[in-house]
Homo-oligomer: A and B are copies of this chain.
Amino acid sequence: MSVTIKDIARLAGVSHTTVSRALNDSPLINPETKERIHAIAESLNYTPNYNARSLVLDRSYNLGLFFSTLHTGTSAGFLYEAIKGVNDVIQDNFNLIVRGIDDYKSFHKVNRKSFDGIIVMSQSTSDQAFIEYASEKEIPLVVLNRPVEGVEVMNLLPDDRGGAFRLAEFLIGQGHRRIALIEGKAGFKSSQARREGFLAGLAEHGLTMDENLIVPGEYDLESGYQGMGRLLDLPERPTAVFCSNDDMALGAVKAVTERGLSVPGDISVAGFDDHLFSAFMTPALTTVRRPIEEISRAGAEKLLTFIDNKVVEKSTVLFHTELVIRESVQSTQGGR
């Protein structure tokens, strides 16, 4: 068996209580005793049993980072940025448990005892039940990325709508009138917000979108490729295409070049997210930056203060999304 505070107590000739206090750096303990105990602990290679501590302190040292799904619809870049952002903040103090909500058969194992706090990186309303569950259980909670309705939570999200709006205006400013849209995954809030923002941006300039120029997508590379294929088969092609994320934009560009056409020479393409690879695509992608890592970081910080102060604040914070102009959109006059 492994060494416990009782073993240390025996060797130090004190009670295990004293050992516990010494190891927790209690001011009550004589500095010399403290030092002696620390030395013994060190030499015995003692490590505390966190399960025992958790049991009495009612704290798990676990933080959950939950995604709507870890399967389709969650891009590698998204997962990466979210984990990085959260991980940077929590440091050594918590275990970061990563999971797809759709992997749970039941939420039984999700409770205050097992999670000191939860971050939901939400993409669709499919996880609404989970959010309500966590909220009811009064687990400290922040929901990132999509707006939550029906239940009050701390809610941090990118301004998808505003970004798409500004992108539409930019496209129009470049002279485009016949503009197409490859939608994001059906049911995802971001898909909807981006479409709405985009259409609103067009409307702002008196344009409405031809229904035939809206094609469905799944947020993955393949569906961008397929979607663009359909648009190119149209008798009258669009001059510009807004892909609801960068992954689809990459696929879309592929479909264009494969037919011997060029981006942006023959057709302009824009994306959304500003993934790491977007600046390195050929041509470099014009897109909208969505600050996922920043949101994740902010969410983790909020959560930690909730846990420390035992108060959860409930409000919505919108993070700015920024138009990033690169090379994949050209003016209809030629040139960028």
Q: Which residues of A contact B (CB under 8 A)?
A: 2, 47, 49-52, 54-55, 60, 62, 70-71, 75-77, 79-81, 83-84, 87, 91-92, 95-100, 103-105, 108-109, 111-114, 221-222, 224-225, 247, 250-251, 253-254, 257, 276-277, 279-282, 284
B76 near A103 (CB under 8 angstroms)?
A: no
B254 near A95 (CB under 8 angstroms)?
A: no
Further contacts, 20 of them, CB under 8 A, given A76-B276, A221-B277 = A2-B111, A47-B113, A49-B113, A51-B54, A51-B113, A51-B114, A70-B83, A75-B80, A76-B77, A79-B80, A79-B83, A92-B104, A92-B109, A97-B97, A221-B279, A225-B280, A250-B277, A253-B282, A254-B281, A254-B282
Of the candidates B60, B75, B250, B253, the one whose C-beta lies within 8 Å of that of A51 is B60
Contact sample, A vs B, 5 pairs, CB 8 Å cutoff: A2-B111, A70-B84, A70-B87, A97-B97, A225-B280
- Please indicate the chain B residues that have their CB under 8 angstroms from the CB of A254 in the complex: 280-282, 284
- Please indicate the chain B residues that have their CB under 8 angstroms from the CB of A99 in the complex: 87, 95-96
B280 near A282 (CB under 8 angstroms)?
A: no
- Please indicate the chain B residues that have their CB under 8 angstroms from the CB of A47 in the complex: 108-109, 111, 113
A2 near B112 (CB under 8 angstroms)?
A: yes
Of the candidates B79, B221, B279, the one whose C-beta lies within 8 Å of that of A280 is B221
Q: How far is the CB of A62 from chain B (nearest CB, A)?
A: 7
Known: A80-B76, A225-B280, A282-B253. A109 touches B55 (CB 8 A): no
- Please indicate the chain B residues that have their CB under 8 angstroms from the CB of A276 in the complex: 76, 221
CA gap between A103 and B84 in the complex, in Å: 11
CA gap between A105 and B108 in the complex, in Å: 33
A113 near B2 (CB under 8 angstroms)?
A: yes
Of the candidates B77, B100, B257, the one whose C-beta lies within 8 Å of that of A282 is B257
Of the candidates B49, B79, B114, the one whose C-beta lies within 8 Å of that of A55 is B49
- Please indicate the chain B residues that have their CB under 8 angstroms from the CB of A221 in the complex: 276-277, 279-280
Please name the residue on chain B nearest to A84 by beta carbon: B70
Of the candidates B79, B100, B251, the one whose C-beta lies within 8 Å of that of A79 is B79
B109 near A280 (CB under 8 angstroms)?
A: no
B277 near A277 (CB under 8 angstroms)?
A: yes
- Please indicate the chain B residues that have their CB under 8 angstroms from the CB of A70 in the complex: 83-84, 87
Please name the residue on chain B nearest to A58 by beta carbon: B51
CA gap between A264 and B50 in the complex, in Å: 57
CA gap between A251 and B224 in the complex, in Å: 21
- Please indicate the chain B residues that have their CB under 8 angstroms from the CB of A98 in the complex: 83, 87, 96-98
